[in-house]
């Protein structure tokens, strides 16, 4: 079974703190994604990466950055957390290309910024 692991499940951070969300997948997938999910807004893509050291902005990249130094790991960084970044963050991965490839999600990281 594909496993996408988000190491931090529940975090509470203060405004202005730097926050790291880590994601690791064990199926040698080329594509990795970071989404946030908010009530009524659905899943919104923050960043994605199709290869090591490659990254592409999604729909809402402002206030976030990412790092993909190794194929299996994709990190989301909030340089200076703000209260409007309180959300559930979902990491996902899939094989190269998108046609017909299942997207596998991690269990989510619930971030509260106070």
Using rule CB under 8 A, residue 108 touches another protein: yes
Spatial separation of the C-alpha atoms in residues 30 and 68, rounded to whole Å: 11
For the beta carbon of residue 81, count every other beta carbon within 10 angstroms.
21
Backbone angles phi, psi at 32, to 5 degrees: -135, 150
Q: Name which position in 11, 45, 60, 77 contacts another protein (CB under 8 A).
A: 45
**If DSSP codes are grouped into helix, strand and coil, which group holds residue 85?**
helix
Minimum Å gap between C-beta 2 and another protein is 10
- 107 counts as binding another protein under rule CB under 8 A: yes
Nearer to another protein, 8 or 104 (CB): 104
Here the tokens at position 105 are: 């999600």
- Applying CB under 8 A, among 12, 27, 54, 98 the residue interacting with another protein is 98
CA 105 to chain centre: 10
User: Contact residues for another protein (CB under 8 A)?
Assistant: 33, 35, 40-43, 45, 90, 97-100, 102-108
């Amino acid at each position: 079974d594909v496993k996408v692991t988000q190491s931090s499940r529940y975090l509470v951070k203060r405004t202005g703190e730097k926050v790291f969300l880590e994601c690791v997948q064990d199926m040698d997938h080329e594509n990795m994604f970071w989404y946030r999910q908010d009530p009524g807004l659905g899943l919104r893509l923050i960043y994605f990466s199709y290869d090591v050291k490659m990254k592409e902005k999604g729909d809402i990249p402002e206030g976030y950055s990412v790092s993909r130094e190794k194929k299996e790991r994709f990190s989301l960084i909030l340089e200076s957390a703000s209260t409007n970044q309180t959300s559930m963050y979902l990491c996902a991965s899939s094989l190269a290309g998108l046609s017909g490839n299942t997207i596998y999600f991690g269990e989510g990281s619930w971030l509260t910024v106070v």
